[in-house]
A and B are shown apart, each in its own frame.
Chain A
Amino acid sequence: AQKITQTQPGMFVQEKEAVTLDCTYDTSDQSYGLFWYKQPSSGEMIFLIYQGSYDEQNATEGRYSLNFQKARKSANLVISASQLGDSAMYFCAMSPPPGGKLIFGQGTELSVKP
């Protein structure tokens, strides 16, 4: 069965520093998608970044990058130059074939200190 594991319930980072949020996944499928979403205290879910299993390069979107290590089945999110507004819950998710549903991890709560 497919599963997403986020082992860090909470993380602290100093403003302007980089932080890595861990995500490992379990699947026997060859084709899948990996996503990261941000959930601020207001509750909405905000899409951050996507990585396809066949993508050879790591995805980047502004200050977000995804460190994809397929052999290790990990898809860590790297946030560079953290800002106070980055304080939120972060969820890693997987889209297994045939696609459609997202399977979410338990989330990591990130707190950015001034």
Chain B
Amino acid sequence: DSGVTQTPKHLITATGQRVTLRCSPRSGDLSVYWYQQSLDQGLQFLIQYYNGEERAKGNILERFSAQQFPDLHSELNLSSLELGDSALYFCASSPAGGGVYNEQFFGPGTRLTVL
């Protein structure tokens, strides 16, 4: 158990809908990262938050947004869902905001299925 929690574990929804994925980082970790794992694209970095502020952005679609709250939990909002958004969404956390040695602890993931 990494100490990172994600809810829900599974989510099934329809095209055009909006969903929210939630992540609680390990106690004491200030950074939260979101990744998408799909068969087509593999594991891709979406976005990083550090202590409430956006720190880095990757291949995140405009239909997706995220935020980190004062208690450091984070939410990833996905809207106008398409079939291609079906994937496993991981949240990871780390103590620091940067540095190349930045071991990230991954949550169990949320499996999103868009029908």
A contacts, CB < 8 Å to B: 31-33, 35, 37, 43-47, 50, 52-53, 91, 93, 95-107
Contact = CB atoms under 8 A, between A and B. Distances in A.
B108 interface: yes
A44, A98, A100 — most chain B CB neighbours (10 Å): A100
A45 B42 contact: no
B28 interface: no
Contacts of A102: 33, 35, 45, 104
Indicate the size class of the contact surface on chain B.
20 to 34
B43 interface: yes
Which 4 residue pairs of A and B lie closest in terms of their CB atoms, listed nearest first? Answer: A45-B106, A33-B100, A104-B43, A99-B98
Contacts of B107: 44
Contacts of A53: 100
B58 interface: yes
A106 B43 CA distance: 8
Contacts of B99: 98-99
B16 to A, nearest CB: 27
B53 interface: no
B23 interface: no
A44 B108 contact: yes
A22 to B, nearest CB: 16
Contacts of A46: 2, 106
Given A97-B100, A98-B100, A101-B45, 4 more contacts: A31-B100, A52-B101, A100-B33, A102-B45
